[in-house]
A and B are shown apart, each in its own frame.
Chain A
Amino acid sequence: MTQIMEGSHAVAEAVRLSKPGVISAYPITPQTHIVERLAEMVADGLLEADYITVESEFSALSACLGASATGVRVYSATTSQGLALMFEVCFNAAGMRLPLVMTIANRALSAPLSIWNDHQDSISLRDSGWLQLYAQDCQEAHDLHYIAYRVAEDHSVLLPAMVCFDGFVLTHTYEPVDIPGQEEVDAFLPAFSPYQRLDARDPISFGMYATPDYYMEFRYEMERAMQRAKGVLKECGKEFGERFGRDYSDLVESYRLEDADTALVAMGSLCGTVKDAIDEMRGEGKKVGLLNLRVFRPFPFEDVKKALSGVSRVAILDKNVSIGSKGAVGLEMRDTLYGTGIEILDCIAGLGGRDIRKRDVRRIVGLAEAGGGDIFYGLREEVL
């Protein structure tokens, strides 16, 4: 049933319907409303889960890791500094092949302190072995959790997954969201069936020592699982579409790209504003389109290359920066499009919550057409 609700509550509903056995999280702005609502659901008996309260994000994810190893579905949520504190546990969970699902309410990293949105937090964990999905609206933020559990728990994948959605811009926005019934969700997302689990009667260990003779093979197996995840994402996204009417079978979403000369590339909530700007520019005869990277890990090289095969230039809106290099999306695009002759402009934009308007999108298209070099877009003039 479609209801109007806050994005954070839409995510909490998806978690409730996914029936995790253990939840552990530490509240941090702008993730707080998700975990507050889940705590209420557990206290009110609407969700039968152990809600483990902890003193830090490090402990929250550690509790989830341990619980997952015993064979239950687990959930956590965090953002920014909280995710930074989880850094070590993130790599452990992936290396132990535990299918945790965690929501990232994307926020900038300190210092200086910023509670506002960009993608620096999750992007900084791009090498950790977690799948990363980015939601463009509250409905997608809800839906992608079911897909994340299905894919993460698939025995051909067995890697943890982050569902990333923009802090404040989506977490604190009220808009209509279709919440499916429990039976429909159960049919799509059956109970977790662990590949192996901790059991005192049949002892095994996770994450043990690997000497130089074996460590590389473990990493290679993770890479292979990540590549297999592409196919599983497509299958699950297609099945989700058949069951719920919202199709996620493509790892990338193409918007008006068919005959586009210039393609914008973005992730997350910015895609909505970009689409509106594209419609305006199309009305003026400008051939522009959008590539929405819904999946950043595994990076969909083939899908991106195919979707952009007809364009002359690409302008990337990167809500993160690898200081000393480029934006993370820009780097992937340069790799993907190497040798195609497509011109690439990487714009670092919207860091720390800087608002991006339709007029900014139009200006960035203008910059791409003019053939300028990579920039931090929209800086205050006094620093130039």
Chain B
Amino acid sequence: MNKKMTILFFVVLFLWACYETEVSFKSLINGFSDVNFFISEMFPPDFSEVSKVFPDFITTLKMAFVSTFYGAFLAYPIAIFAANTVTKNKFLNVFFRFFLNLVRTIPDLLLAALCVALFGANPFAGIIALSFFSFGIISKLLYESLESLDENSFDPIKAVGGSWLSKIKYGIAPAVLPQFLSYCLYVFEINIRAAAIIGLVGAGGIGTWLNINFDLGQYNKISSLLLTLFLIVAIIDFISAKIRKRLMGS
């Protein structure tokens, strides 16, 4: 009985949400005719400008790399304060966890738009926005890893009269290092895609070209950019997955 009620509840919720958001098959099918148009415009891709904008691909990669680094650098101490296995202070734990939730609530595109307004339409704005974004993810994942550490593993440090800093350096850092690096690589992968997207709001990198070509209706150029980006992301994902597997395995 309970199970049936649960299923019914979700069916009703789904239908209500569809109705409220005006989801209908009709509009989906109507949209498809436009898809035909886009696809025919996109193919064959025009690679003539890819070499010209290649430096901007590199900029996108640089943005992703630098912001992952900043994010990770900030996330490490904050995660330490948020985790009650490491910092035995309820007030600090709650305060920093609240702060982390707050940071993660802000959508990345909104953050990017805000940074562009503050710092101008350039890669720096994008880097600041992505750093916050990276910080949000890494600190959350790292803090969860820290919480799951076995507290008995700090006993040797405590037993010899070691300080809080010693506990972090010799008890915690080596124990969570593989996870931490793995999270950084994962966020770097996400950041490459995100760096391309936030370029749409003017935050530099390849996204700027996507935006320009979109406005000009040059869809065959957009497809060439997307295919190149896809190739770059695929290569980096492949390498990063290999490294992460080794980190977690050892």
A and B from one complex: no
